Each structure stands twice: as C-alpha cells, then as structure tokens.
Chains A and B, each alone.
Chain A
Amino acid sequence: MKWFRSLKTTMNLWTVFSVIFVLLVLLPNLSIIVQFFAEPNENWLHIREYMLQNYIQNTLILVFFVGILTLFIGTSLAWIISAYDFPMRRFFQWGMILPLAIPPYIGAYTYHGILNYTGVIQTSLRNQFDVTVNQQYFNIMNMPGAIFILTIFLFPYVYTITKAFLARQSTALVENARILGSSSWRIYFRVVLPISRAAIIAGVSLVILEVLNDYGVVSYYGIQTFTTAIFQTWFGMGDLQSAVKLSGTLMVIVLGILVVERIARGRRQFSFTTTKVKLLQPVKLEGRKKWYAFSFCMFIFSIGFIIPVIQLIYWATMTYEQLFSHDFWQLIWNSVSVAFTASTIIVIMAVVISNFARLNRGMLAKTFPKITILGYSIPGAVIAVGVVTLFTALDRQLFGFYEWLGLEPTLLISTSLFMLVFAYVIRYLAVGYNSIESGFDRIGTNFTEASRMLGMSVTKSFFKVDMKLIRGAIFGGFILAFIDIMKELPLTLILRPFNFDTLATKAYQYAVDEMIQQAAIPSIFIILVSGIAIYVFHHVLEKE
C-alpha cells in the first residue's frame, strides 16, 4: 500500500515515459537474461575448466590499465586546456575529441600496418638504411599494444566529460586554490581530481564498458578476453546458450561495479549552486612552460589522430579507384541518417529517464539508471540476437494485421531500418545517459526545487530551467552517441535490411579480409563525418 501511495504521488508524464522507455530497453534483453539461468551444459563446464580463469585475468588487466591511463590522460588534458592558455589551445579544445572519430579496430589495423614488416617504418629502415630490426621491438600485437590502442582512441570520453565539468563548475574552488598559492600539480591532484569525481567516473565507466565489449582489437591482436570467450563459444562451438550465459556473467560484473561506485559515492553531493555560472579563466603560460603544455597536447594528438590518419590517407592513395566504383554519397547518407535518428531518440530518452531518476526517490528511480547501462554492457552481437527475437515475435503477432492490409504475411518490421535504429538506441542509451546524468549531477536539484516552489510543473521547470543548464551535456551526449553509432559494427552487420550498407560495414568487409589498403577510404569517410560532428558540437557550445 505504501508503495502504491508513493507511486501515486510521483505519477506524472515523466514517470510514465520513463517506465515505457525502460521496458523497451528491457524487452530484448529478456531473452538473454532467461538464458542466463539455463542449466549449464557440457560446453559451459569446458569453458569454465579451460578458459574462464585466463580470460578473466586478461580482461581485468586490460580494463585496469586502460581505465587508469585514460583517467590520467583525459583529466590532465582537460585540466591543462581549461586552466591555461598556450599555443593552439583553442584548437586542442575540440581537437582532443577527434581520436574518438577513429574506430579502435581500424586504429589497431592501422598501427599494426605502420609498425609491421611491410609497414612504412621498417620498410624505410630496410630500403634506405639497410637495417633490419628485431621484430619483437616493433610488435604491437600483444597486451601492451592493445592497452595502447584502446587508451589512445577512448580517452576522449574522459576528456570531454571532465572538461565540460571543469570549465563551468570548478571556478570558485580552483581560483581559491590559486590565490592560496597552490602549484598547478597540487591543484590538479588535490582539487581537480576530487571535485570532478562524478564526471571522471562517468567518463571512465564508458571507457571500461567499451573495453569490455571490444572484440575487433583484441581478436586481431590475439588477446583472449571475456568477449573472445563469448564469441569462441558461439562461433567455435556453435553454442549460443553458453555464450549468452557468459554475457550474462559479464553483465552482472558490470552492474556490480556500478553498484559499488554508487555506494562509494554515497550521499556526498558534488554539485555547486551559485546564481551565476562563472567560466574558469585560463591563465596565460609564458616561456618554456607554454611549450611544455603545447608539446604534451601535440604528442597525444599526434598518436591519437595525425599519425593514423596520415597512414590511412597514404593507403587511400593506393586504392583511390574505389571512389568511382562505390557510391560513397549513399554510404555517407545511410550512416549519417541512422546515426542521427538513433542519437536523437537516445538523447530524448536519456533526458526523460535521468530527470525522473533525479527528482524521485524509491526503487524505480534507483533501478532505472542501471537498466540504461544494460545494453552497453553486452556485446553488440548478443544484443542483436535479442532484438531479432523480439521483432520476429512482434511480426508474427502482426501477421493477421498484415493480411488484413493485403500484404503477404511476412517480416515487415524486422526487415526494416526500424529494427536497426531500435537496437542502436538500446546499445548506446548509456552513452547519452551518462553524459546527461553527469550534467544533472553538477547542477543539483536546487534550481529545480526553487522553480517547483514557485509553482511550475516538472515539465515546465525542465524546459524553462533545467534544460538551459544542461544543454552542453545534452549536446555532448548526442555527439558521443552519434560517433559511436557511426563506428558501430556487429549490430549494423546483422540487423540491417537488404542491400543497406554503411561506411562502417564497407570498411569492415575489407579489413576482415586483411585488405587494409582498400578499407582506408571508407574509414577516412567515417573519420571525416565524425570529425565534422565534433567540430559543430564544439562550435555550438563555444557560441553560447
């Protein structure tokens, strides 16, 4: 009864929509969750005996190092760029997001292509200087190599989210620390890291989830992780049930991490409410210092963007005839339109759910955020199976209706783009959600409460007050989701309608056959489109 009463008091449109959205996310995952409780079969025992321990160990190593490295690279860049002025700072502000435009598996192929025996470095050494090097020194296909690739192409998650926080919210504390004479390092460790904890955690957990789900990089570099185990079981043994059981385990681990994080954060609030948002004023660096700051940024930017892009362009010049044989405009249009549609839906859903969750107490409000992560914690290919099951069942239910309309009983929804967009939304809801949640986190609820006290409804308060405060976060979430979808592979491959190709599927079809030169042109287009999105995003924010 008590529960019912509390439900009644919180009942409004936000609640209704949140519940609907969360159910939509849950539905396709149900078929996966059910499998999780299935009896273990022989293959499962085999996996446990021969594979699991090693795979878990590798996964932990990978997650730990990529997590730590992205944390330090992302936050230190965010700090330097927000707090200091030095050459090219204005460019780096958005340039540092660009590595995100390169799909990590393309980055993995590219760096291997640069460093291997037929790569540009070894070839020049051999042909110009007659030096043949020990292959071990140039081998990137190992654990450190995978950590490097994943770090360098994923750190922008931490960078963007932390920087958005620092620029707007840290001014008072940082300026006080400056006045009190703290050194830059001291401020970084004693002030910046602690106060941006919520933002850092949001960023790092996106990175960790990406790493847990990565299949392209680890399988190419021959590193056995949890995801490899899932696919080995599915593809090698043809046992989808055990594969799903493994994904379920992964999901439980991820949810566990998130719960621990919530508990650790406890009741401490990290939001500041002042009547005016004061932007952090960058201090102009002089002399040697400004070149240190510049070199650090330039170094990261080079390995994360310039070097791989130059290599891709070089390969593209070898295969430029392709430009005439494929319709790249069509590919770009396909990629952009589905990514745009899906990210818009993601942002709307994320705003609704997170606004509901922050303004309400109780079970529902606490559980919903975790459910949004669900899709992001399972490998895309496994989600695809859940989505196909759901939509085929839906189509079957609708057979009668189709017949009434005079259509052949057939699969209408599950052979349409609708299914693909739906799957994207489930998969990447967490990306939009995390960004928007951390936006809400830093404004707290004071403004909203004030607005409610003055008699505005939740909806009115949202449009008149909250949305204006978190627009940066909303845009950030949109752009991150958009770029992720541009790069997405397994869902697109398996759920697309007939004859529907995107840039990512084109790049994949060549890369998987080790025809990296041919994969270069579609890859460059992915980077170009995502790069433009990043630039526009920055420009819009800047203008404010």
Chain B
Amino acid sequence: MLNRKYVFMMMALIMTAVVLVACGGGDEEPQNEEQPEGTAGQGGEDAGEVNIYTSRHYDIDDEIYADFTEETGIEVNIINGAADELIERMNREGEASEADLFYTADAGRLHRAKDQGLLQSIESDIINENVPENMRDRDSEWVGLTQRARIIAYHKDRVDPEELSTYEALTEPEWEGRVLMRSSENVYNQSLLASFIELHGREEAKDWAEGIYNNLARSPQGGDRDQARAVVAGEGDVAIMNTYYLGGMLNSPDDEEVNVAEQLGIFFPNQETTGTHINVSGVGLAENAPNPENAVKLIEYLTTEEVQETFAAANYEYPVNPNVEAASTIQEWGEFDSQDINLSILGENSAEATLIFNEVGFE
C-alpha cells in the first residue's frame, strides 16, 4: 500500500511541476505580449514604459521611479544585476534588446558600455542644463546623476589632519603600516588609479599603487566599511574610502557602527594640487532602446532639482545638479575641489589600472 501511495506522490509532484511550468509560461506571455503592444501599438493613449538595466539597488530608486510613473503614466521596468553582466547581456541581445537605459554606479563601467557600442547619444537641453559638462560623456552617451568622492578617513585622536595632504603623500615612509584600502578588484580603486594614469602618466601611477601597497596596515580585505572599522580598531590610522559609506554608517540602525563613524574625520585630499577623486553613478541611453523618448524623459526627471535633492540625500551622495544643495550630513563634511578631468577617462584607463594593480601584486 505504501508503495502505491508513493507512486501517487511522485505523480502528483510531476503533475504539479508540469502545471507550474505551464503557469509560469502562461504568466509570462501576456506580460511579454503587452510590452510590444504598449510601446508600438497604442502609443497614443498609453504613455508606454521604460526598461532599465541597473546595477544600483537602493530602495530610494524604486520610490523615485514610482513617483515618475505617477507623474507621467510611464511604467518603469527593472532588471538588477552586476554592471558587467548586464553589459554582456545587452551585448548578446543585440538589436532585439529591450533595455532602454543602463544605470550603474561607476563612470568606468558606463564608458565600457559606450565602448562596446551599446549606447547612443542623449539629446536634451534640459539634461545639458542640469548636469555640468565634466559629468557627462563627451558624446553625451551617458549622464552622471549623483556623485561621490573617494576621500581619506582618519582617526580623530591619532591623526592630525595637518599631517594629511595628498593621495601621493600616503606612499611616504612615515605612513608605513598605517594605510587601509580594500582590494584592487574593487571598481572604485580601479577608477581612482585610472584618474592618476591620466593626471601623472602610467609610471607615476604604478609607483603610487606600489607605494600604497607597501604602506598597507594589512592585506586588502572586506569592503569600505571594514576599512573604517579597522581604523577605529587601531589596525591602521587612515583609510581610503567613499564618502557615502561613512554617511551610511553615521545613519546605521546599529549604534556601534554610528560610534565608529563618529570617531573618524574626513579629509579631502589634493586640494592644493589636482583635486579630490570623484566618481558618478550615471545612466546611459541604450543603442537599441525600444522607448528612447520615455528614457530621455526619465533621465530629465532624475536631473531635476526636486528629484536630485532626495535622490542624492538618500544614499549620502552629492547631487550633480549644481543648483541643489547636498544633504545636511554631507554638508558638514565641507566643500572641496574635485579632479578636473572628464569622467570618461576613468573608463578609458580602467583596464590599464587593473593591469598595474596586478603587476605590483596589489591583491
């Protein structure tokens, strides 16, 4: 008897699976049928949609997209993923790709998408007015939306900010065993070194990578927040990290993280020389975008003053729109001069930067 029961169970299992597959297909198809109809078929009455491939994943993004839909009636569809995987997916999909926008948190990646012919230029006076030129691609194929600085965080008791000056100074012997930085696999470090290649040439950039590596307090590990913890724990005295991680820690639900962040000071390096390294999170218009007008509308919306304010503040970033003031947490850190280079360069030099890191053995 048991055996019959068992066979019955297996059959039930298989049936359920078949039904599920069928349902899965069934659920899917109408959704997909709607997409082309929505855009091409009845464009007049229906405001249509816009499809985003994004590697950003903050809750605020969803809220802002929802506001956009409410205001314009345009539906926003999202696929999240790692930037390079999304680039590859767009590549493989080719002309048939349904992506309208490619959104990621690093200028280097945006450039890579452009380089592979995945983007087209964005023509909009509103965007050109809202976003300064150096935060837009030279051919307007992508636009920065929020910016962040890669700064030196120091321990308020152990380090006098007077001792700090530039990124380069951290390679001096007096900083031996005191510097913390995460792995060179991280894209923010690759972009940082890419900017040095532009400003000082390959040789000096390589010397810098080697010098920092020799001065590290420990072998690179963990994320940016871990570097901050290590400074407070006394493993090192200064950390090279992005501003918004400190913002996140200062507003963390975990009191201990707040405690750590409060013991750190922020120093904007290279103020007398080349300026502090900045990077953007930005968006590119896909070459084969099925809904380019809606896509441009969304970018315009994201650069407006009202949206920029909440958008940047939610993740403790700086707005790109110069008419918008930064959030209060960020304002307290003070103003700074940034590197005067077009951010496209970060992408152009990023492969070279990876090679240099490997050559000097920076893990």
Known A118-B260, A337-B20: A240·B88 in contact at CB below 8 Å: yes
- Among A142, A219, A340, A544, contact of B17 (Cβ-Cβ < 8 Å): A340
Q: Does B177 sit at the interface, judged by CB under 8 A? A: no
Chain A neighbourhood of B94, CB < 8 A: 392
Least Cβ–Cβ distance between B179 and chain A, in angstroms? 15
Shortest distance in angstroms between A499's beta carbon and chain B's nearest beta carbon? 5
Residue of A nearest to B39 (CB): A408
| Cross-chain contact of B221 among A51, A141, A496 (Cβ < 8 A) | A141
Question: Do the beta carbons of B233 and A238 come within 8 Å of each other?
Answer: no
B173 proximal to A (CB < 8 A): no
Main secondary structure of the interface of A (DSSP, over half): helix
Give the contact stretch, choosing among A73-81, A252-260, A450-458, A506-514: A506-514
Chain B residue, CB-CB nearest to A505 = B80
Residue contact A407 to B57, C-beta cutoff 8 Å: no
A512 to B32, CA, bound (A): 30
Give the residue name and chain of the A residue nearest to B361 (CB): A50
Query: Known contacts A341-B20, A515-B248: does B221 contact A410 (CB below 8 Å)?
Result: no
Provide the residues of chain A in CB contact with B93, threshold 8 Å: 388, 392, 411, 414
Contact flags B27-64 to A (C-beta < 8 A → 1, else 0): 11101110111001000000000010000011100000
Shortest Cβ gap from B124 to chain A (Å) = 24
**Residue numbers in A under 8 Å from B220 (CB-CB):** 222
B225 touches which of A228, A414, A474, A514 (Cβ 8 Å):
A514
Cross-chain contact A337 with B24 (CB below 8 angstroms): yes
**A236 CB-CB contact with B under 8 Å:** yes
Chain A residues 62-119 with CB under 8 Å of chain B are 112, 116-119
Check B57 against A512 for contact (C-beta < 8 Å).
yes
Cα–Cα distance between A510 and B225 once the two chains are bound (Å): 13
A364 within 8 A of B: no
CA distance in complex: A389, B93 (Å): 7
Q: Specify which chain B residues have a CB less than 8 angstroms from the CB of A385 in the assembled complex.
A: 85, 88, 92
Q: Which among A338, A381, A517 is the interface contact of B85 at CB below 8 angstroms?
A: A381
* Chain A interface residue count, Cβ-Cβ cutoff 8 angstroms: 82
Residues on A with beta carbons closer than 8 Å to the beta carbon of B29: 412, 416
- Which of A344, A414, A499, A517 lies in contact with B253, CB distance below 8 A? A517
* Chain B residues with CB under 8 A of A408: 35-37, 40
Which residue of chain A has its CB nearest to the CB of B2?
Answer: A544
Number of interface residues of B (CB under 8 A): 83
Q: Which residue of A lies closest to B190 (CB)?
A: A236
Q: Is A444's CB within 8 Å of the partner chain B?
A: no
A112 / chain B contacts, CB cutoff of 8 Å: 222, 226
> Is B245 interfacial (CB 8 A cutoff)?
yes
**Contact (Cβ within 8 A) B234 A132:** yes
Tell me the nearest residue of chain A to B7, going by C-beta.
Answer: A463
In the complex, what residues of A have CB within 8 A of residue B35's CB?
408, 410
Complex contact A236–B221 (CB within 8 A): no
- Decide: B257 and A421 in contact? CB cutoff 8 A: no
In the complex the two chains form, is A471's CB within 8 Å of B355's CB?
A: no
CA distance A409 to B245 in the complex (A): 44
Contact A509 B32 (CB under 8 A): no
Shortest beta-carbon distance from A428 to chain B in Å: 15
Pairwise interchain contact B24-A421, C-beta atoms closer than 8 A: yes
> Could you tell me if A117 and B36 are in contact, using CB atoms closer than 8 angstroms?
no
A236 touches B253 (CB 8 A): no
Q: Check B351–A411 contact: CB distance below 8 A.
A: no
The complex places the Cα of A544 from the Cα of B9 at a distance, in Å, of 13
Closest A-chain residue to B37, C-beta based? A408
Residues of B within 8 A of A337 (CB): 20, 24
A418 touches B24 (CB 8 A): yes
Additional 10 contacts, C-beta under 8 A, given A414-B93, A471-B10: A112-B226, A141-B221, A141-B226, A235-B185, A318-B254, A421-B24, A474-B10, A494-B81, A505-B80, A517-B253
Q: Taking beta carbons and an 8 Å cutoff, which residues of B are in contact with A?
A: 2-3, 6-7, 10, 13-14, 16-17, 20-21, 24-25, 27-29, 31-33, 35-37, 40, 51, 57-59, 77-86, 88-89, 92-94, 96-98, 112, 115, 182-183, 185, 187, 190, 219-226, 229-230, 232-235, 245, 248, 252-254, 256-257, 259-260, 350-351, 354-355, 358-359, 361, 363
